[in-house]
Structure 1
Amino acid sequence: MRTHLVRSGLAALSTVAITFAAAACGSSSGSTTTASTGSAISAARCAQNKAAGTVTYLSGYQFQSSASILEYVAASKLGYFDDLCLKVKLVPGSGDTAQNTKLLAGGQASVAAVSEQDVIQARANGIDIEGISSYSDAGLDILMTNPGTTALTQLNGAVVGDKGAMPVSVRAMLVKAGVSWNSLKVVKEGYDPTVLTRGQGGLKALTGFISNEPNQLAAAGHKVTVWQPVTYGIPSSLGAMAVNPAFAKAHPTAVQDVLRAALHAYDYCTTHVAQCVGYAADLSGVTYDKKLNAAIWTTETKVVSDNPTPGRPLGGIDPANITKLTDMLHTYSVIPASVTDQDTAGWFDDSAVEAVYNGTELIWPAP
């Protein structure tokens, strides 16, 4: 997942190690909405979940209020994990997707926020993780232009900025829209989106994340046009999760109930935004921008509601999207041609999501 972040750079590997050693946060037992620990489920299921030991959740980037992060923080603070006899340790990720997938494969994390595209890329590179859920086939990567640009073909020959790597979905969108890719001058920009509104270096377009830069620019009074790959039929994912396969095989009820608690919290946070963002702020410190993070959560959940996964409940994986992602990654030589559609289909299993629903209704608490 190209990380949709408010940040100035990626943390070093040593910082990640320190994070795991010292900055992890255990699940809260101070809920005002629940009774005693495990009271919501049977004694047998409680024992199974306790047998899993500590379940380490790794976020995509810190405790930013993104889908796949905020609901896990809220599930901890509201006592939903406690209700299901789960001991969940929340670990803030550095934003380095490749490093997160390695930590997950190595067992230093049990579950982690990883996009479907990044699951495919990780597995293609021999990193053993498994995708287990996704909220939407839409993604967060976008392209921004100033309002004067009314068609993407106006960007032919233009200077386009990214953050060091052009998102494949944005490139695919430009090509599908008829832009001559080889005519573009792609330059690396930092994390200040006003370089676009200022036209710095002749910049005509800038990549970003729909929940981040447009909200920052709007708050500062700048108008931009946002171009979303999903509107061009380009595949992606939002709020996707992956698991350590060995952990999932050994503790299936724990994986199911981690997702169950997060989905329950997702629903709660859609109507209690300030409260949930406050939980994330409590874990993050005084510099946490509550207003921006509330906008991030509201924007991302709207993308999910506007682009539901076809025929699946919230969290269910769309097999057709995996095939489309595979084809796109082949087209742009991101994964080897030897990786087949059958290979990538086998790298995902949403049986844990299926287990927590009765039709489209989330089963709460667990059976």
Structure 2
Amino acid sequence: MATPSAQRARRRVAATVTTALSLTLVFTGCSTQSSSSTAAPSNAAVDADTCARNKAVGTITYISGYGYSASAGQMDVFLAQELGYFDELCLDVEINASGANGQQLVAAGQAQFTALGSASDVMLAAANSKNLTAIATYGTTPPFSIFGNEKLQSLKDLEGGSLGYFINLTPIASAMLDNAGVDASKVEMVKMTNYDPTVVVRDQVDAIVGYASNQPQALRAADQPFVEFLPDEFDVQGTYNVMEVNSKFLSEHREVAADFMRASLRALGECLEQSDMCIDKLAALAEANNQGAAFPREQLARTWEVESAWVRDSTGGAPGVQTAAMWEPEYALVQKYGDVKSLPAIADMMDEDLVADLYQGDALVWPAK
């Protein structure tokens, strides 16, 4: 692996400018530095005071709990680093893609940012942690589906059969079963130990609660026969991917957190417009860091084709902008199916303004010195 200085040099060479996002607007971030601060580097997109402020926080650590997945809130962080956008804002960002528990590390202050699969994941964790704040939600499509052996005609056919799940049976899946009239007590629940989707084809379990952009897409690519049930077929609403930040860091360094999101969202815009470029870079990163077999390019492309549509189709507005209203349907599901004793109010778990304030209309504001 290249040294940090070599990586930064490579990123500076690779830095590009996107016409759609290069708005000649003056950056108005607050500064605590004096006007005599050392001049910002020549590649910086911010003035000297803002650059000094961002550098002063030191290394910002982002945890990718899903490795090199082609998902919003993850791929864009990798690309913001590769394209030099963090450098342009004088941010020193370190990415941990080893699959660590991002929520635990961020809550403990050992990292600053991480992304989760849905608002319900945030809510379930919030019942046990008080030091996490959601700052971006990337879509209003639940990322989960129930896929299974082709013999299934409906979810009711799971009664007397088996349903696999990862980590926990999500409130989204529980609501799907309930709305389909399934008696869950008649379904054998099996905690899966790997992500191999072919177990449903081989009839080892009848169905699995999985990610609609991943395991089912792999079965389709292999031309395997299976059935899939999506949340909207059962009038179940939810969210797609959420960025979280350490609450104490957000309180003490709000403008810096905003610039981290500014750079990431600029990269997200690039990936929505130039998916092949982003997938190529992400696949190369995975390969360079010995995760190429787990994240081959063809899989990344399949995943992003689905998930980029979730970002575009979001009813929340510009990418990453979130509101309490977006979370309300899922909040009700977590209250009903999440098995939590005390669920914080939505307003206590999220910051609605941080990302919204980065936009003018639907255009992300990129600073100009």
Do both share a fold (TM > 0.5)?
Answer: yes
**Where does the alignment leave 5 or more consecutive residues of structure 1 unmatched?**
1-21
Partner Cα separation in structure 1 for residue 242 and residue 15 of structure 2: 29
**Over aligned residue pairs, what C-alpha RMSD do you find?**
2.6
Distance 1:120 1:93 in 2: 24
> For structure 1, which segment, 160-169 or 67-76, has the greater mean C-alpha deviation from structure 2 after superposition?
160-169
* Residue matched to 1:257: 259
Q: 1:179 aligns with which of 175, 179, 182?
A: 182
Residue in 2 that maps onto 1:75: 80
The one of 179, 192, 198 equivalent to 1:194 is 198
CA distance in 2, matches of 1:26, 1:348: 33
Q: Which amino acid aligns with 1:31?
A: A
Q: Counterpart of 1:29?
A: 12
Is 1:323 matched up with 2:325?
A: no
In the alignment, which residue of structure 2 is the partner of 1:3? Answer: none
Residues 119 and 165 (structure 1 numbering): CA distance in 2 closer, same or farther, change over 3 Å? closer
Map 1:216-227 onto structure 2 (within 5 A): 216-227=218-229
Shift of 1:254: 1.4
In the alignment, the residues of structure 2 paired with residue 323 and residue 259 of structure 1 have an alpha-carbon distance, to the nearest angstrom, of 24
State how far apart, in whole Å, the 1-side matches of 2:164 and 2:125 are: 26
Q: Which amino acid aligns with 1:304?
A: V
Corresponding residue to 1:344 among 343, 346, 368: 346
Offset of 1:279 from its aligned partner? 2.2
Counterpart in the other structure of 1:237: 239
Could you tell me which residue of structure 1 aligns to residue 69 of structure 2? 64
In the alignment, the residues of structure 2 paired with residue 33 and residue 222 of structure 1 have an alpha-carbon distance, to the nearest angstrom, of 41
Counterpart CA distance in 1 for 2:74 and 2:343 is 30
Distance in structure 2 (CA, Å) of the matches to 1:346 and 1:32:
37
Name the counterpart of 2:215. 213
1:86-137 residue CA offsets vs partner (Å, 9 max, x unmatched): 111111141x6xx321200111111111342222222211341111011112
CA 1:219/1:76 → structure 2, altered by over 3 Å: closer, same or farther? same
- Displacement of 1:222 after TM fit? 0.7
Pair member with larger Rg = 2
Give the residue type in structure 2 aligned to 1:354. A
Q: Please tell me whether the aligned partners of residues 147 and 229 of structure 2 are also in contact (alpha carbons under 8 angstroms).
A: yes
Kindly indicate whether residue 302 of structure 2 is the aligned counterpart of residue 309 of structure 1: no
The 8 Å contact of residues 324 and 346 in structure 2, kept in 1 or not, is answered as no
1:12 aligns with: none
Moved more, 187-196 or 83-92: 187-196
Which of residues 286, 289, 293 is equivalent to 2:296?
A: 289
Question: What's the CA shift for 1:353?
Answer: 0.4
Identify unmatched segments of 5+ residues in structure 2.
18-39
Contact 1:62 1:93 in 2 (8 A): yes
TM-score under structure 2 length normalisation? 0.83
Asked whether the equivalents of residues 141 and 310 of structure 2 are also in contact (C-alpha less than 8 Å), the reply is yes
Q: Secondary structure in 2 aligned to 1:89?
A: strand
Q: Is the 8 A contact 1:81 1:261 kept in 2?
A: yes
User: How far does residue 292 in structure 1 lie from its aligned partner after superposition?
Assistant: 0.7
2:303 counterpart SS class = helix
* 1:64 to 1:37, Cα distance in 2 relative to 1, 3 A: farther
Tell me how far 1:32 sits from its aligned partner: 4.1
- The residue matched to 2:241 in structure 1 has which SS? coil
How far the C-alpha of 1:345 sits from its partner, in A, is 2.0
Residue 231 of structure 1 deviates from its aligned partner by 4.1
Query: SS of the residue aligned with 1:267?
Result: helix
Distance in 2 (alpha carbons) for counterparts of 1:357 and 1:198: 49
Tell me the alpha carbon deviations over residues 124-166 of structure 1, each in whole angstroms, 9 at most, x when there is no partner.
1134111101111222221003445343333333322223532
2:121 is equivalent to residue 133 of structure 1: no
Q: Which amino acid aligns with 2:202?
A: R
Report the CA distance between 1:61 and its aligned residue. 1.5
Could you say what secondary structure the match of 1:135 adopts?
strand
Distance verdict in 2 for CA 1:108–1:174, change over 3 Å: same
Q: CA deviation at 1:290?
A: 0.9
Write the distance in 1 (CA, Å) between the matches of 2:338 and 2:257: 33
d(CA) in 2 for partners of 1:233 and 1:137?
13
Q: CA, structure 1 residues 247+89, in 2 after alignment: closer, same or farther (shift >3 Å)?
A: same
User: In 2 relative to 1, CA 260–50 (structure 1 residues): closer, same or farther, beyond 3 Å?
Assistant: same
Q: Which residues in structure 2 correspond to 1:44-63 (within 5 Å)?
A: 44-63=49-68
In structure 1, what is the Cα distance between the partners aligned to 2:187 and 2:209?
Answer: 13
**Partner AA of 1:198 in structure 2:** R
Q: Secondary structure at the match of 1:317?
A: coil
2-structure distance, mates of 1:251, 1:156: 51
Q: C-alpha distance in 2, partners of 1:176/1:191?
A: 26
- In 2: Cα distance, 1:245 partner to 1:93 partner: 23
Q: Name the SS of the counterpart of 2:224 in structure 1.
A: coil
| 1:16 alignment partner in structure 2 | none
- The answer on whether the counterparts of 1:257 and 1:366 sit within 8 Å (CA) in structure 2 is no
Question: 275, 278, 292: which is aligned to 1:276?
Answer: 278
Letter in 2 for 1:289: P
What's the CA shift string for 1:190-220, capped at 9, x where partnerless?
32211111223xx332221111111211222
Contact 1:37 1:82 in 2 (8 A): no
